[in-house]
Amino acid sequence: MEIDWTRSETIALAKESCTHCHGIGLRQFGRDSESIPCNCVLRNIFRACYSRFRYCVGKEPHMSHARLEMVAGHDGRHSWGRKDEEYIADFSLVSKRILDAEEYRIFRFHFLLGADWRLCCRQLKLERGVFFHMLYRIQQKLGRAFREIQPYALFPLDEYFGGSIEKLLPGSRRVIEMPRRSHALRPPLKKVA
């Protein structure tokens, strides 16, 4: 299933000074002028996902907690999960599956192990320019994968962590329902003396 990219979705992620999309986030591709996301948008998606990955990895193990989540489907089942650990695993496994061997080596050294560009270039025997071009390609590839992976994308992060439920209703497009509160919100009442 092809993901439709909309301007409202990409404009917030686009780099304002981008010479390809001019800050809109979409570029025209081909004769039938199909709109595709700009590389600056894909890199920003990767950076947002990577930032959340680092946050999840940096948390103390006792800070994570299991959550009860509703599983998509007609029978309304519930499942226990640890979203931070699931996200770390999803981020790592999707990256390993999408990248080829050379790209994954660079990804592992620079993003997972935290080596700076000098150390990466020395260890991988690459020139500086080649290294940074490969980093941009890796970010673009993974940014697209994190957004377009089915059935549950890693981006947008609020949908991944927020517990939104996606259902395909008969004869309709994607519908996102926000989780319902278990209790009603009640404003504080003034004390009567």
For 140-177, the pLDDT digits (tens) are: 999 999 998 888 888 888 887 775 444 444 555 554 45
Which has more pLDDT, 187 or 159?
A: 159
The reply to whether 8 falls in a domain is no
pLDDT at 140: 93
Q: Which residues of 22-34 are buried (b: 16+ CB within 10 A; e: fewer)?
A: eebbbbeeeeeee
Residue 182 DSSP SS3: coil
Q: For residue 104, how far is the Cα from the chain centroid?
A: 18
pLDDT at 98: 94
The reply to whether 3 falls in a domain is no
Q: Could you tell me which residues are beta bridge partners of residue 78?
A: 70
The reply to whether 22 falls in a domain is no
Smallest CA-to-CA distance from 110 within 86, 146, 89, 134 is with 134
The reply to whether 43 falls in a domain is yes
The reply to whether 18 falls in a domain is no
* Gap between the Cα atoms of 22 and 12, Å rounded: 12
> Per-residue confidence at 104, pLDDT binned at 50, 70, 90?
very high
Structure-derived torsion over alpha carbons of residues 59, 62, 68, 70, reported in degrees to the nearest 10? 20
pLDDT at 96: 95
- Domain hosting 71: range is 39-163
* Gap between the Cα atoms of 114 and 125, Å rounded: 17
For the chain, the domain total comes to 1
Q: What is the residue-wise DSSP string for 120-171?
A: HHHHHT--HHHHHHHHHHHHHHHHHHHHH-SSS-S-SHHHHHHT-EEEE-TT
The reply to whether 183 falls in a domain is no
pLDDT for 63-94, tens place per residue? 667 777 766 666 667 777 778 888 899 999 99
Tokens in use for 81?
């999960």
Is residue 187's pLDDT more than 50?
yes
* Gap between the Cα atoms of 142 and 37, Å rounded: 13
